[in-house]
Amino acid sequence: MTPGPGTLALLAVLGGAAALDGTSLGQVMVSRPLVAATLAGCVAGSPAHGAMLGLFLEALHLGVLPVGASRYPEGGPPAVAGAALFAGSAGTFAELLPVVLFCMAWEWACGATVQWMRHWNARAASPPEETELDPATLERRHYASIAGDFARGAVLTLLGLALLAAWLRAGPAEWTPEPVARMALAGVAAAGIASSLRLFGSRRLPLFVLGAACGVALLVLR
């Protein structure tokens, strides 16, 4: 189900805000897939569906590090676009699988536009030979970069929505049986979460095992 014009406008604003939050402004982490998808789910009418998508995207985004000038996938706008469309579905794993796949691919595309924007910002930055800089010029350049990043996020969210809607019309939700989709998604989410041990250091494997034992205990008791 494609969202109406008012919802689309709100989603574009949310996608722009998520793009800004990723690097340019705030970094309070509303751009994380878990939060961005949940918020987009709220806008589109089903926060629980948004959170469900956000969980899988977050699990596969834990190892993404925005360090220095490294190239990395951008999680915010794709999560907004994906959650907006997944919110209108029945919420099955067979429907979720193509949405997760699209969002992961779109994250790389959005990450590439971050690189382009940084090259564009470099042209706008003050030249090295500049020995004096007008405060108004500096502020104008800075605000223009921030506005450009917001516009980039909004456009990428709407473009992502259009591409995902077209992809979902091809019927990928019917290609995979529900139990297979559930196992595949659960497996990659578990692997994604487990892979975050690399961030914390392999010497903390005993703590990881202790956490896993607590998880098993909870599953048994439930």
Q: Which of residues 80-99 bind another protein (CB under 8 A)?
A: 97-98
Cβ(167)–Cβ(98) under 8 Å?
yes
Nearest approach, Cβ of residue 108 and another protein (Å) = 9
Judged by CB under 8 A, the stretch of 9-17, 84-92, 156-164, 202-210 that binds another protein is 202-210
| Given 6, 90, 128, 166, the residue binding another protein (CB under 8 A) | 128
Among 1, 112, 162, 194, binds another protein (CB under 8 A): 194
Among 104, 158, 161, 168, which residue sits at the site for another protein (rule: CB under 8 A)? 104
Using left for φ > 0, alpha for ψ between -120 and 50, and beta otherwise, residue 108 falls in alpha
Per-residue tokens: 105: 């691919």
- Judged by CB under 8 A, the chain residues 156 through 185 that form the site for another protein are 172, 174-177, 180-185
Enumerate helices (H) and strands (E) in the chain, giving the number of each: 9, 0
Of 9-17, 65-73, 84-92, 153-161: span binding another protein (CB under 8 A): 65-73
Residue 136 burial (10 A CB sphere; 0-12, 13-18, 19+): exposed
Task: Kindly determine how many residues on this chain lie close enough to bind another protein according to the rule CB under 8 A.
Answer: 103
Minimum CB separation of residue 163 from another protein in Å reads 16
State the minimum distance, in angstroms, from the CB of residue 147 to another protein: 9
Q: How far apart are CA 30 and CA 36, in angstroms?
A: 6
Residue 37: CB atoms within 10 A of its CB come to 35
